[in-house]
Amino acid sequence: MTETTKTATLSFDGKTLELPMFTPTAGPDVIDIRKLYSQGHVFTYDPGFTSTASCDSTITFIDGDEGVLLHRGYPIDQLAGKSHFLEVCYLLLYGELPSAAELEKFETTITRHTMIHEQMHNFFRGFRRDAHPMAVMVGVVGAMAAFYHDSTDVSDPQQREIASHRLIAKMPTIAAMAYKYSIGQPFVYPRNDLDYAANFLHMCFSVPAEEYHVNPILSRAMDRIFTLHADHEQNASTSTVRLASSSGANPFACIAAGIACLWGPAHGGANQACLEMLREIGTPDRIPEFIERAKDKNDPFRLMGFGHRVYKNMDPRATVMKQSADEVLELLGVEDNPLLQVAKELEQIALNDPYFKEKKLFPNVDFYSGIILEAMGFPTSMFTPIFALSRTVGWVSQWKEMIADPQNKIGRPRQLYLGETARDYVDVEDR
């Protein structure tokens, strides 16, 4: 970020303020309003902070109009097509792609930290069996601060490093245990001979009674889901992690806050909403009816999994995810799954219908990831926990960047107050 020679002129009540501007390496210029209150005694009003840059960052860049998503400058389609999740984790954490030796060391470190403290098993048993896995994850991840005291001092770079590795390594174990607990099966310990994605599938679907072999196509699809959800700039949950971090809270509490925010259906629940929509449609013969409803502005029905709030063109992650979806469905078939039949038919209609082309309502990453997870056998209640697992590295990277930023200060948004002005208390007998 460099300060430009340009300034923004703001005039009001006979005052004129000259506000400095900054030019990023990519994206629009930014007006610096930090001295707006001290110089003009006014605030800006921006619900949702959709026009406000709350920080500077070097991690992820998004251009929604052009359908661009870059991690440290690398296009997401190249990373998802040529790399794998732990390599992308290294990139997000440290800023550069690792050498072969660096990657091997990093993978070994993550693999050796996948087990959780044995006493933490008791936390899971304190929940009802029908508890949502996200509720379990919020509680268990927050409780990590009670077990790993040697990585809660955010002022110590070494402790921040250890906490980062622990969170990335243990999140698949925690998510898998939440799933196993919900279906009444015994916990499955992680295995060091499996890669990150294969290990997660093994912990979710294997049972002590028989051997379980992870299909490499499913493992690769799972790895791509992790990669494509690893980070997405200053979204709601990432901003929550940063805001919690600004107070100096320990990293486990901050990531638990991110998980809680992600739980919302407007954020992490999008692929679950997509699957619920497919269930509402029910059978392929009902698709035309719902297509017409989607085109009717007066009908509340909306096609979930099509279009994107950020991407005004094709979601750059969707192309790669479609490839994985096609591979998984070819492997597992859709003949016995009406929901997947509806998904495939709906995809083809939406890709070819002039209305959807004109509105740029293309299938997005949530549509395809939902199809993949359904085909693998995950219940919809596990979709958001898998999203949280994937996004942990993004949260951790943003947290580390913020803690190391000399401009870091506690978050304190302002407000437009519309309540009562000062008034005197009235005794109860006089009201």
Catalytic residue, chosen from 29, 366, 427, 430, is 366
Residue 272 lies in a domain: yes
Provide the whole-model pTM: 0.91
Long-range contacts of 273-276 (CB under 8 A, 24+ apart): 273/304, 273/305, 273/366, 274/304, 274/305, 274/366, 274/367, 274/370, 275/339, 275/370, 275/374, 275/380, 275/383, 276/304, 276/380
Same domain for 103 and 46, yes or no, is: no
CA atoms within 13 A of residue 39's CA, in its CB half-sphere: 15
CB atoms within 10 A of CB 79: 25
Tell me whether residue 418 is in a domain: no
Tokens 């890709």 found at? 351
- Indicate whether 266 and 393 sit together in one domain: yes
Q: Is residue 74 part of a domain?
A: no
pLDDT at 371: 87
| Alpha-carbon span 414 to 52, nearest angstrom | 13
Annotation marks residue 56 as catalytic = no
Is 241 a member of any domain? yes
| pLDDT for residue 87 is more than 80 | yes
Instruction: Find the domain containing 38 and state its range.
Output: 7-53
Q: Given a cut of 70, is residue 185 above it in pLDDT?
A: yes
CATH number at residue 15: 2.20.28.60
Residue 366 designated active-site: yes
Which candidate in 195, 231, 308, 315 is catalytic?
Answer: 308
Q: What per-residue confidence (pLDDT) applies to 86? A: 98
Whether residues 23 and 102 fall in one domain: no
Q: What is the pLDDT of residues 325-338, one digit of tens each?
A: 889 988 988 777 78
DSSP states of 341-401: HHHHHHHHHHHH-HHHHHHT--B-HHHHHHHHHHHHT--GGGHHHHHHHHHHHHHHHHHHH
Tell me if 139 is assigned to some domain.
Answer: yes
Residues 28 and 109 in one domain: no
Q: What is the pLDDT, as a whole number, of residue 2?
A: 54
Overall domain count for the chain: 2
89 within some domain: no
In a domain, 64, yes or no: no
Pick the closest to residue 252 from 120, 151, 126 (CA basis). 151
The 10s digit of each residue's pLDDT in 346-355 is: 888 878 888 8
